[in-house]
Amino acid sequence: MQDLDPSTTGLIDPFGRAVTYLRVSVTDRCDLRCVYCMAEDMTFLPKKEILTLEELDRLCGAFIALGTDKIRLTGGEPLVRKGVMTLVRSLGARIGAGGLRELTVTTNGTQLTKMAEDLYAAGVRRINVSMDTLDPGVFAAVTRWGKLEQTLDGIFAAKAAGLAVKINAVALKGVNEDEFDRMVAWCGEHGFDLCLIETMPLGDIGGDRTDQYLPLSLVRSRLRKTWTLEDTDYATGGPARYVTVKETGGRIGFITPMTHNFCESCNRVRLTCTGTLFMCLGQDDAAEFRDLLRAPSTDDAVLAQAIREAITRKPKGHDFVIDRRHKRPAVARHMSMTGG
């Protein structure tokens, strides 16, 4: 393992990767119960275990001082957290030279009709909206009690506010696999990028994941029957590999943790709403920051050193497996804890 020079500002992991992207789950709560993300009967964390918005802001600020230039706010559903715009505005004020290059949000879209304009005013320019289907009945089944119209209204409110929208869709066998041509066409019509995601073995969702898993290699080969997919070097700093759809001019991203491990270029760590930092989505090793943040003796230097130490433990990659011999989740925590 390489030693990190405490006098440098950047965060470099043991494999020489610069860690510049922080994903922050601001809440474990959500107003939907998507079948690949949560169990229907979830038990959420007590308030005392959740970092305050001020604590989240301080920890994000420490990462920014150490070279983090992109922060994505996630959940659960981040926009259901009371007062979350206070955090968004504070982070948005750090966009610029020597600070953040980009502040983004991943949302299910239910709150966007109320909050899209505020997000844009705070400095957010791109958002990801999770929407796995354009069929109202399938949408209700996948989200367990969501309404497609509410999410669509939010998406178009975001577009009207000036936000670039990317649609995130989890590929689910037997659920939405016959919809991808339709979604490509719809996203192309409205100017949205589309990102397809393989389901990941995180958390007990009350079902067999082999019943959900659909490899994107298969999805991509099916799409090629209708669309001309052209390679592109476009990248957002995340794990998606993009192609351009010649017929629409739009882009499709593929996130393939199962069929093509993307760990060699990983630049991300994930902070939960309780102050737990996961250096890898698919590993259980973590660093705890809540007690440190709440200790009167913790100054900025102590916080920075704790972050640096955590990065020295970032693993080379994850070990996701989904097959009939591995029905149990690879990681016990639900996706909603770390925000994907």
Whole-Å CA distances, 112 to 70, 73, 83, 140, 153: 21, 14, 15, 19, 8
Q: Any binding-site annotation on 273?
A: no
Q: Any binding-site annotation on 36?
A: yes
Q: Any binding-site annotation on 60?
A: no
Residue 99 is which amino acid? G
Q: Any binding-site annotation on 23?
A: yes
Q: Any binding-site annotation on 30?
A: yes
Residue 95 Cα to chain centre, angstroms:
20
Report how far residue 242's alpha carbon sits from residue 137's, in angstroms, rounded to the nearest whole number: 29
Residue 304 is which amino acid? A
Q: Any binding-site annotation on 34?
A: yes
Q: Any binding-site annotation on 187?
A: no
Q: Any binding-site annotation on 324?
A: no
Closest CA to 13 of 238, 273, 307, 318: 307
Q: Any binding-site annotation on 200?
A: yes
Please report where in the chains the tokens 């178009």 appear, as a residue. Answer: 156
Q: Any binding-site annotation on 162?
A: no
Residues 252, 223 contacting (CB under 8 angstroms): yes
Q: Which two tokens stand for residue 52?
A: 């305050």
Helix H or strand E encompassing 243: strand 241-245
DSSP single-letter state for residue 123: T
Report how far residue 237's alpha carbon sits from residue 256's, in angstroms, rounded to the nearest whole number: 15
Q: Any binding-site annotation on 251?
A: no
- Residue list for the binding site: 23, 30, 34, 36-37, 72, 76, 106, 130, 166, 200, 263, 266, 268-270, 280
Annotated binding site for S-adenosyl-L-methionine: 36, 76, 130, 200
Binding residues for GTP: 23, 72, 106, 166, 268-270
Which residues does the annotation place in the binding site for [4Fe-4S] cluster?
A: 30, 34, 37, 263, 266, 280
